[in-house]
Amino acid sequence: MSAIDTLPSLSQVIKTHGLDARKSLGQNFLLDLNLTSKIARLAGDLTQCDVLEIGPGPGGLTRGLLAEGARRVLAIEKDARCIPALAEVAAACDGRLTVIEGDALDIDPLAHLRAPIRIAANLPYNVGTELLVRWLTPPQWPPFWQSLTLMFQREVANRIVAAPGSKAYGRLAILAQWRTDAQIVMSLPPEAFTPPPKVHSAVVHLKALPQPRFEADAKILERIVAAGFNQRRKMLRASLKGIAPDISDRMEAAGIKPTDRAEQIDVEGWCALAREVARG
């Protein structure tokens, strides 16, 4: 038995450290260690990896990641009340856990991590999408991480893996599917959390591809996709008219009908259009 297994139960940790859940911090805790171990296993082989965890809270997923043999875990937590609870986990794992108190949106974790790096988190819902978009739009590809294993509201998870033509298909699907393999790997009902949220949740695993699926300039692709889905009910020739005066010609050159709507264009089509726009 490892020292991690001798730690008190998570409900005991919450009681001892007074961690009553705060809505403003998106706190819906996972207290079932079987569940957190399962999520940690979905992150892949961690034994040679540093793992970045955002929002460890009382440390359930953190324990799972350490028990799965993560070389190191760097955990960033905004709630100061959780830090003493996490120090108990750190003391039980031979220095493999480092905790930084602060806002994950403001902290650059790279100075504290060594490649290969994986990211795993039961994300606070209020910052989850913003963090995902940042991880999907780094200055260079391949990114600093090999994979992301992330819990989201089911609706957000559906948007990440959505296919063209569906309601959920949009910017998130294109950003994710252009340069990663993205899959929903687990679904969780509200009762899995304490307190239970109003919505269902799902874990998405995104594996970074060595290079993008189709050639395109990332900035141009992001710009046209944002403009196209900003007015998703309009025909693309209207929503993209600010991108180039001859946008209809460029769409036709990319094999897209100017009367198509954003949600009808697959990732390959968007990339073809980005290349046409890049011609200047």
Q: Which listed range, 99-107, 174-182, 230-238, 240-248, lies at the site for ligand SAM (CB under 6 A)?
A: 99-107
HSE (CB half, 13 Å, CA atoms) of 44?
20
Binding positions for ligand SAM, 48-67, rule CB under 6 A: 54-57, 60-61
Angle at 31 between CA 26 and CA 37, to 5 degrees: 105
Question: Which of 21, 253 has the CB closer to ligand SAM?
Answer: 21
Selected binder of ligand SAM within 26, 64, 143, 228 (CB under 6 A): 26
Number of helices and strands in the chain (H, E): 11, 9
Selected binder of ligand SAM within 64, 109, 124, 143 (CB under 6 A): 124
Selected binder of ligand SAM within 7, 14, 28, 46 (CB under 6 A): 28
For residue 105, state whether it binds ligand SAM (rule: CB under 6 A). yes
| CA 16/CA 6 separation, integer angstroms | 16
For residue 68, state whether it binds ligand SAM (rule: CB under 6 A). no
- Total residues at the site for ligand SAM (CB under 6 A)? 23
Q: Which listed range, 72-80, 136-144, 165-173, 230-238, lies at the site for ligand SAM (CB under 6 A)?
A: 72-80
Please, which residues have CB within 8 angstroms of residue 265's CB and are 6 or more apart in sequence? 164, 228, 236, 256, 273
For residue 276, state whether it binds ligand SAM (rule: CB under 6 A). no
| CA 22/CA 24 separation, integer angstroms | 5
Asked if 264 contacts 236 with a C-beta cutoff of 8 angstroms, the reply is no
Q: Which listed range, 70-78, 141-149, 162-170, 258-266, lies at the site for ligand SAM (CB under 6 A)?
A: 70-78
H-run or E-run covering 84: helix 83-91
For residue 128, state whether it binds ligand SAM (rule: CB under 6 A). no
Q: Helix 33-42 and helix 60-67: axis angle, to 10°?
A: 60
Contacts to ligand SAM by CB under 6 A: 25-30, 54-57, 60-61, 76-79, 82, 103-105, 122, 124, 127
